[in-house]
Amino acid sequence: MKQTGFFDVEERLARLSGLGDQLEAFSRTVDFEVFRSDLNKALAYSDGSKGGRPPFDPVLMFKILVIQTLNNLSDERTEYLINDRLSFMRFLGLGLSDRVPD
């Protein structure tokens, strides 16, 4: 097994793009930020004054629901595949070291 290089992830993502990553095309087509205000209203997050873990970004969670629906996945399988697939991470805007919702 060869040593990991600085650009390995970028090269792999470029290869996925060249192979026609469906989620990348979906991201270019749909502006998910349009849904942010409606999601914020519907979720009615607290102001955080009582403490607790801050919620995940509502657009991120919405995109996770899109992944689940497109692939007919359970919550557990979705969490696993987000951790496993670079294409899912890229679609969600997550890096390798970012926390994945459980």
Tokens 């696993």 — which residue? 80
Q: In the prediction, which pLDDT does 93 show?
A: 94
Alpha carbon separation from 57 to 9, 24, 43, 62, 69 (Å, rounded): 24, 20, 11, 9, 19
Asked whether 62 and 37 are in contact (CB, 8 A), the reply is no
Q: In the prediction, which pLDDT does 49 show?
A: 75
In angstroms, the CA 64 to CA 67 distance is: 5
Q: In the prediction, which pLDDT does 1 show?
A: 64
Q: In the prediction, which pLDDT does 51 show?
A: 76
Per-residue pLDDT of the chain (102 residues; tens, 9 = 90+): 666 666 788 888 899 889 998 999 999 999 999 999 999 999 887 777 777 788 899 999 999 999 999 999 999 999 999 999 999 999 999 998 899 988
Q: In the prediction, which pLDDT does 8 show?
A: 84
Q: In the prediction, which pLDDT does 60 show?
A: 96
Q: In the prediction, which pLDDT does 5 show?
A: 67
Alpha carbon separation from 26 to 30, 63, 76, 92 (Å, rounded): 6, 11, 23, 11
Q: In the prediction, which pLDDT does 10 show?
A: 86
Opening angle at CA 43, ends 40 and 46, nearest 5: 90
